[in-house]
Amino acid sequence: MAGATVAKYLRMWGDSVEVFLVKRNASYTSNIMSSLVLTGQRTMASLNYSYDSLFNAWGVQVLRDEVLEIDPVGVKVRLASGTQLAADRIVLAPGIDFDPVPGLGNSDRMPHAWKAGPQTALLASQLAAMPDNGVAVLTIPKTPYRCPPGPYERACLVADWLKQRKPRAKLLVLDANADFVTERDNFSRAFNDLHGDVIDYRTSAEVLQVDPATMSITTAAETFRNVDVVNLIPRQRAGSLVTATGLANATEGRFAAVDPLSYASTLAPRIHVIGDASATTQPKAGHIANQEAKVCADAIIRSFASLAPDPAPVTNSACYSTITMRQASWLTAVFQYNPANGTMQPVAASSAASVGWNKDHFDQMNTWFKALMADSFS
Ligand X SMILES: Cc1cc2nc3c(=O)[nH]c(=O)nc-3n(C[C@H](O)[C@H](O)[C@H](O)COP(=O)(O)OP(=O)(O)OC[C@H]3O[C@@H](n4cnc5c(N)ncnc54)[C@H](O)[C@@H]3O)c2cc1C
Residues 106-135 that bind ligand X (CB under 6 A): 114
Give dist(CA 180, CA 203) in Å, integer: 8
**34, 320 Cβ separation under 8 angstroms:** no
DSSP 343: E
- x/- letters, 297..326, toward ligand X (CB under 6 A): ----------------------x-------
User: Which of 156, 112, 96 has its CA nearest to residue 279?
Assistant: 96
Instruction: For residue 59, give every residue at least 6 positions away whose Cβ sits within 8 Å of its Cβ, in sequence order, or none.
Output: 11, 19
User: Which range in 93-101, 196-204, 212-220, 246-254 contacts ligand X by CB under 6 A?
Assistant: 93-101
Looking at beta carbons only, is 208 or 250 nearer to ligand X? 250
Looking at beta carbons only, is 28 or 161 nearer to ligand X? 28
Residue whose C-beta lies closest to ligand X: 275
Does the footprint of ligand X cover residue 147 (CB under 6 A)?
yes
From the CB of 267, what's the least distance to ligand X, in Å?
A: 19
**Which of 19, 21, 32, 104 is the binder for ligand X (CB under 6 A)?**
32
Does the footprint of ligand X cover residue 93 (CB under 6 A)?
yes
- Cα 106 to Cα 143, 199, 223, 243, distances in angstroms: 24, 29, 21, 22
Does the footprint of ligand X cover residue 182 (CB under 6 A)?
no
Q: By rule CB under 6 A, what count of residues binds ligand X?
A: 32
Give the CA-trace dihedral at 337, 258, 369, 136, to 10 degrees: -120
Give dist(CA 355, CA 352) in Å, integer: 9
From the CB of 85, what's the least distance to ligand X, in Å?
A: 12
- x/- letters, 254..293, toward ligand X (CB under 6 A): ---------------------xxx------xxxx-x----
Q: Measure CA 366 to chain center.
A: 18
**30, 146 Cβ separation under 8 angstroms:** no
Does the footprint of ligand X cover residue 146 (CB under 6 A)?
yes
Point out which residues bind ligand X (CB under 6 A): 1-3, 22-25, 28, 31-32, 34-35, 66-67, 93-95, 114, 146-147, 150, 239, 241, 275-277, 284-287, 289, 319
